[in-house]
Chains A and B, each alone.
Chain A
Amino acid sequence: MLKLGQLNIFLDNLDSPSDIDRELIINSYDINGYGTKLGELKLADKTPVYEYHEKNGHVVEFAGFLMPTWYKGILPECAAVRNSVGMFDVSHMGRMYVSGKDAETFLNYLTPNNVTDLKQFQGHYSVLCNEKGTIVDDIIITRYDQELFLVVFNASNKKKDIAWITEKTKRFNVKLENISDKVAMFAVQGPKARATIQKISKEEVSKIARFGCGWLTIEGLKCSASGTGYTGEDGLEVYIYDAPSNDPWRAMKVWNAILTAGKEFNIEPCGLGSRDVLRLEAGMCLYGNDIDETTTPLEARISWVIKLDKGDFIGKDALAKQKAEGVKRVRVGMKVLDRGIPRAGYEVLKNGKSIGKVTSGTLSPLLGYGIATGYVPKEYSKEGEKVEIKIRDKAVGAEVVKVPFYDTSKYGWQRKA
């Protein structure tokens, strides 16, 4: 029933997590991970709240970490976040402080977005681009102080990003500090997320803007929180300091405090499964699926991260050129009009001819139909364009739609009450 053969490849390759092996890990996670418990994997790391996952969740290996794919199930977890509140352990993510006199100048060179625009306690979505203008990773940069920034990046790119960023510091007076293994991080998401955190925090959480951040005291512990997430909903990502996995009590204390505070809102602990569904419903990119070193921010339609009017940055020439010439293909949202669930890798057809591939696909539990993102030639990218998605041997009708896939007046952080 389940193609277990692929898991063997994956286990064999855990010893040497180079980029290629990492790809294999992601593939096996997509195909088999949700249904398959892998047992003890020596090299996989544990987050500081692993014990909770082990006891309550369905744990698999992801990006070198033992992570829950679900606890109660993907469907109730998605519903909790869309309707009330859910909490994800995202302590596996890469996090790095960039500090020093040149921190701002350095980040402006490293990334295409304008870091100078960030006031204290403000953050933005951005990317790391290479000279070709393609995407090394997507990241969030937050200014904590004039000369102190936090950079958050994907768990699956941790080694690559740290090497990339370190190499680029040569000309700059900056200090990098990888805090990934010392700081726990919980994404509390949904319309009741702030109300949940407010119950256990002395500080006024409403002061934390979307993409902003602030210091919080929870259970007597110094924490910070940012108005970010990966679900499309309002929410906070809470950072618990001095919380490595070999000394997890601070992380556990805050995790449990949030679960207790959220009880009145029927909070659910949520795993990677619902996280992936929720981000796709919101139309957000998943690195390795929707964006990678073959795609540019212009093609991925995250062009707001590119500020060509600032000084030089890595990839600027390539992006300026592509912008001037126009992109040939773009990432679009597609809604399946008939029965069938689109999946990454499935072909997108127009009049029977292949025009692109699905990069992310799922059934949307919220909408009740299949949704996908993928790259198609510019001429087929307008809203309402009819295409087909080849689901196994059938060409199933689909339509290009805008993202988020849901009605933003009813769901997501911009919803009207």
Chain B
Amino acid sequence: MKVGDYEYQEGLYYTKEHEWLKVEGDKGRIGMCDYAQKQLHEIVFVDLPKVGAKTTQMESMGTVESVKAVADVFAPASGEVIEVNTKLSNNPELLNSSPYGDGWIAIIKPSNINQELKALMDANAYAEFLKTVSEKK
């Protein structure tokens, strides 16, 4: 699915800062949207959260950097980090080539997911949001 140049996927939840959350049973997989990776271009460095770290919804859980720009990764949900995509340390470009696949950032055990999902957008709402963002440009 696409809005303009920007891909998005059904079944994910989205933040206005262009992170995505995929609910996988009692876990949540987190990544960065296609829009964000296209804005940053050529991602060269990822500062990942540590396993065991606590996340708070819409607070920074790490950073992603291109040669000339730094962007925070805002946690789409609160919880505890149980796995991080260590491949990103040596291959940060996975965030460019596969933002919804191999470029995932972390898996958390959410602590308040039912409540917090209400603050996120579903795919339809995100598509609308993407339209407004890309029209501004």
Q: Do A and B bind each other?
A: yes
**CB pair B68 A74 closer than 8 Å:** yes
Query: Shortest Cβ distance from B133 into chain A, in angstroms?
Result: 9
A58 to B47, CA, bound (A): 26
A273 to B89, CA, bound (A): 23
Stretch with Cβ within 8 A of A (4 or more), from B33-41, B77-85, B121-129? B33-41
A92 within 8 A of partner (CB): no
Q: Restricting to A300-353, which residues have a CB under 8 Å from any CB of B? A: 339-341, 343
**CB pair A35 B18 closer than 8 Å:** no
A2 within 8 A of partner (CB): yes
Q: How many residues of B contact A (CB 8 A)?
A: 28
**CB pair B47 A363 closer than 8 Å:** no
What residues of B have a CB within 8 angstroms of the CB of A273 in the complex? 67-68
A36 within 8 A of partner (CB): yes
A266 within 8 A of partner (CB): no
**CB pair B137 A70 closer than 8 Å:** no
Which of B39, B47, B67 is the one whose CB lies under 8 Å from A392?
A: B47
Which of B40, B47, B73 is the one whose CB lies under 8 Å from A35?
A: B40
What residues of B have a CB within 8 angstroms of the CB of A32 in the complex? 69
**CB pair A362 B36 closer than 8 Å:** no
What residues of B have a CB within 8 angstroms of the CB of A34 in the complex? 41, 66-69
A274 to chain B: closest residue by CB = B67
Interface membership of chain B positions 42-65, coded 1 if the CB is closer than 8 angstroms to chain A and 0 otherwise: 101101000000000000000101
What residues of A have a CB within 8 angstroms of the CB of B40 in the complex? 1-2, 35
Beyond A1-B19, A343-B70, A365-B67, is A37–B137 a contact (Cβ under 8 Å)? yes
Which of A30, A31, A35, A392 is the one whose CB lies under 8 Å from B63?
A: A392
**CB pair A73 B17 closer than 8 Å:** no
What residues of B have a CB within 8 angstroms of the CB of A39 in the complex? 136-137
Beyond A1-B17, A1-B72, A2-B36, is A58–B41 a contact (Cβ under 8 Å)? yes
Q: Restricting to A1-49, which residues have a CB under 8 Å from any CB of B? A: 1-2, 30-37, 39
**CB pair B67 A362 closer than 8 Å:** yes
Beyond A35-B40, A39-B137, is A75–B69 a contact (Cβ under 8 Å)? no
Which of B18, B41, B67 is the one whose CB lies under 8 Å from A1?
A: B18
Interface membership of chain B positions 97-117, coded 1 if the CB is closer than 8 angstroms to chain A and 0 otherwise: 000000000000000000000
A114 to B89, CA, bound (A): 50
B8 within 8 A of partner (CB): no
A340 to B65, CA, bound (A): 10
B71 within 8 A of partner (CB): yes
B74 within 8 A of partner (CB): yes
A36 to B38, CA, bound (A): 10
A363 to B93, CA, bound (A): 14
B36 to chain A: closest residue by CB = A1
Beyond A1-B17, A37-B137, is A70–B41 a contact (Cβ under 8 Å)? yes
**CB pair B67 A75 closer than 8 Å:** yes
What residues of B have a CB within 8 angstroms of the CB of A234 in the complex? none
Beyond A1-B17, A363-B44, A392-B63, is A276–B68 a contact (Cβ under 8 Å)? yes
**CB pair A1 B71 closer than 8 Å:** yes
Query: Shortest Cβ distance from A68 into chain B, in angstroms?
Result: 13
B60 to chain A: closest residue by CB = A392
B75 within 8 A of partner (CB): no
A217 to B89, CA, bound (A): 50
What residues of A have a CB within 8 angstroms of the CB of B21 in the complex? none
Beyond A1-B18, A1-B72, A39-B136, is A341–B41 a contact (Cβ under 8 Å)? no
What are the 6 A-B residue pairs with the smallest beta carbon separation, nearest first? A34-B68, A1-B36, A35-B39, A1-B18, A74-B67, A1-B17
28 contacts between A and B (CB under 8 A): A1-B17, A1-B18, A1-B33, A1-B40, A1-B72, A1-B74, A2-B39, A2-B40, A31-B69, A31-B70, A33-B69, A34-B41, A34-B66, A34-B68, A35-B66, A36-B39, A73-B41, A73-B42, A74-B41, A74-B42, A75-B42, A273-B67, A277-B68, A339-B89, A340-B45, A340-B47, A341-B65, A362-B67
Other A-B pairs, 19, CB within 8 Å; known A34-B66, A365-B44, A365-B67: A1-B17, A1-B35, A1-B36, A2-B39, A2-B40, A2-B71, A31-B69, A32-B69, A33-B68, A39-B136, A58-B41, A75-B42, A276-B68, A340-B45, A341-B44, A341-B45, A362-B68, A363-B44, A363-B45
